[in-house]
Structure 1
Amino acid sequence: MSNLRIVAYLKPSCGWSNGVRAILKKYNLPYEDKDIINFPEYREEMIMKSGQPFSPCVEVNGEMLADISGQELEQWLIAKNYVKKIDKPVDVPIDQACSGEHNHGYPVKVNFEL
């Protein structure tokens, strides 16, 4: 739909982010892809708008969908009647984490000193 304003806060290479991109492509929805890894100001903007640090976050017409998978995004778009469900396959999994996703890409610091 041309009346949708979509801003996606995504990592350049991540299972969750690629799933969101795949859904937006599947439904031919134009969107602004804000790279939160290479542009820290976009990550800060995402945190400020969503109230949390986890990605992907997708803003649709001012409504923030925080920490969402491609599968969840598709379900939400259909439920809001922004798109009609189509059975077109996508080229990547839409609900898969990227490697290291348990710590959301940040190093885990373990202190073994007692």
Structure 2
Amino acid sequence: MESVLSYIEFISKISDADKSFLLLYKEGSEQSSCALKNVIKASGESEKAKFFSADVNVVRDIHKLYGVESVPSLLVFADGRLTNIIKGCHDSSYYKALTQNILFRPEETSVRKSAKNVTVYSTPTCSWCNTLKAWLRKNNIPFTDIDVSRDQNAAEALVRRSGQQGVPQTDINGQIVVGFNQPRLKELLEIQ
């Protein structure tokens, strides 16, 4: 994994890459150290993708340009375009799977399922929330993300509807799913 010191340097290095990843981290943070260690391990097992890192103590422009407000965050790029942001620290096997999943491009199906209205209620520091959002993106499910740590009214409305305070909670066409209950999510989203 290569360290970059600015946005300009980073962009110049991914101009010819199909797939690239940039870990934004903060030196001295336990979560960042965890993410850095696991991304380094995953990067050693991937031959096709380029991996970069930037310490926000040193690099001041990248996180602002991509709207990243918390670290560690792994930015995922395809053909130089930002396609996903994975927040928090995950196991190296998760990062390895992420590098493999980015190679997968689902074919358009001839029969389109009816569009679902999906809203995810989450917080930036919730690892299950980030896992849920990554899973929705992987399955090409558009969703609205509401950060209940910043929107007290949404948090109160959510408790009134579900009777639960915890996150993640997902509203799919009026049906609430508490936690990352994959079988229930697949059922409501009609995913095989």
Q: Same fold (TM over 0.5)?
A: yes
How much does 1:50 deviate?
Answer: 0.8
1:33 aligns with 2:141: no
What SS does structure 1 have at the residue aligned with 2:142? coil
Unpaired stretches in structure 1, ≥5 consecutive residues: 85-114
- Relative to the length of structure 2, the TM-score reads 0.39
Out of 150, 165, 170, the position equivalent to 1:53 is 165
What SS does structure 2 have at the residue aligned with 1:38? coil
**CA distance in structure 1 between the aligned counterparts of 2:188 and 2:170, rounded to whole angstroms:** 14
AA in 1 matched with 2:151: F
Residue 191 of structure 2 aligns with which residue? 83
AA in 2 matched with 1:39: D
Residue 119 of structure 2 aligns with which residue? 7
Pairing of 1:75-114 with structure 2 (within 5 A): 75-80=183-188, 82-84=190-192
- Relative to the length of structure 1, the TM-score reads 0.63
Figure out how many residues of one structure are paired with residues of the other and give that number.
Answer: 80
Q: 1:42 to 1:77 in 2, by over 3 A?
A: same
Superposed CA RMSD: 1.7
What SS does structure 1 have at the residue aligned with 2:119? strand
Q: Percent identity of the aligned residues?
A: 26
What SS does structure 2 have at the residue aligned with 1:52? coil
Unpaired stretches in structure 2, ≥5 consecutive residues: 1-112
Decide which structure has the larger Cα Rg and report it. Answer: 2
What SS does structure 1 have at the residue aligned with 2:140? coil
